[in-house]
């Protein structure tokens, strides 16, 4: 039986003092339990702050990205050993925003090439995380244009194959996959529950082919994209949705606690 997992992706939000206040409020609202897993992926600068507050709780801390080399002349990047050193348990990789695929564009379109993540770099990052015993949260999802063209399954399968190339099922046995339709991220739009469930079932079947049946059965598949307290219960009830990767709602303790309770 796969344990439900709810992950908050804070993106580029909250200072250390704001992070502390949010976590302290959240811990007052959620009773300790081992029935589900909860994690927060804050900015690099607040990972240690959040991790300290999570000590002696069932909550875990993660990161939003990683660089695949352990060290070197890679200005501005952070490696897996560094994340391990500050207590990271999870790390998001391949998020649509690092790929330059935005549901809601808040930057000049001319700057999109700055975000240049590829399946190859995602693959390198996953291998580094696995080597250092950090659980990857592999993101995949289609744009609105791809969905309207009937390419949802094709696009996601290609992302999975590229990201997991050369990785054995046993290595990714405890990994996580997050389905985030790009057009639902930060837009307030949510994928229809039945369709979200269908896509997550398709992902699990694809993982059988890419990895193996045992790994596919154990990997937790999350849904992300405007998850809220009002829709989380219905989404999490789908047989192949094992929790959520939550953006904006994870920044508000009361909102995030409702999603956790839904799980």
Residues taking part in catalysis:
95, 180
DSSP state of 79: B
Residues paired with residue 83 on neighbouring β-strands, in sequence order: none
133-227-253 Cα angle (round to 5): 80
Contacts (Cβ under 8 Å, ≥6 apart) of 156: 140, 141, 142, 179, 199, 202, 203, 206
CA 89 to chain centre: 12
Q: Which residues contact 217 (CB under 8 A, 6 or more apart)?
A: 204
Query: Virtual CA dihedral for 188, 189, 194, 200, nearest 10 degrees?
Result: -80
Tell me which residue of 190, 177, 84 sits closest to 129, measured CA to CA.
84
């Amino acid at each position: 039986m796969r344990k439900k997992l709810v992950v908050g992706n804070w993106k580029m939000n909250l200072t250390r003092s704001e992070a502390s206040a949010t976590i302290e409020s959240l811990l007052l609202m959620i009773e300790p339990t081992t029935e589900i897993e909860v994690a927060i992926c804050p900015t690099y600068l607040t990972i240690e702050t959040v991790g300290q507050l999570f000590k002696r709780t069932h909550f875990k801390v993660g990161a939003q990205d990683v660089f695949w080399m352990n060290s070197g002349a890679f200005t501005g990047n952070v490696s897996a050993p560094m994340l391990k050193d500050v207590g990271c348990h999870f790390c998001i990789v391949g998020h649509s925003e690092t790929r330059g695929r935005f549901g809601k564009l808040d930057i000049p379109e001319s700057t999109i090439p700055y975000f240049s993540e590829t399946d190859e770099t995602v693959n390198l990052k996953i291998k580094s995380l696995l080597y250092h015993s950090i659980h990857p949260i592999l993101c995949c999802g289609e744009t609105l244009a791809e969905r309207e063209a009937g390419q949802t399954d094709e696009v996601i399968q290609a992302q999975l194959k590229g990201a997991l190339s050369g990785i054995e099922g046993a290595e990714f046995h405890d990994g996580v996959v997050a389905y985030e339709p790009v057009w639902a991220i930060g837009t307030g739009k949510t994928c229809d529950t039945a369709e979200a469930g269908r896509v997550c079932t398709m992902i699990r079947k694809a993982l059988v082919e890419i990895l193996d049946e045992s790994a596919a059965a154990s990997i937790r598949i999350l849904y992300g994209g405007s998850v809220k307290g009002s829709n989380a219960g219905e989404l999490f009830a789908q047989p192949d949705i094992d929790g959520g990767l939550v953006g904006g709602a994870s920044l508000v303790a009361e909102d995030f606690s409702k999603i956790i309770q839904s799980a």
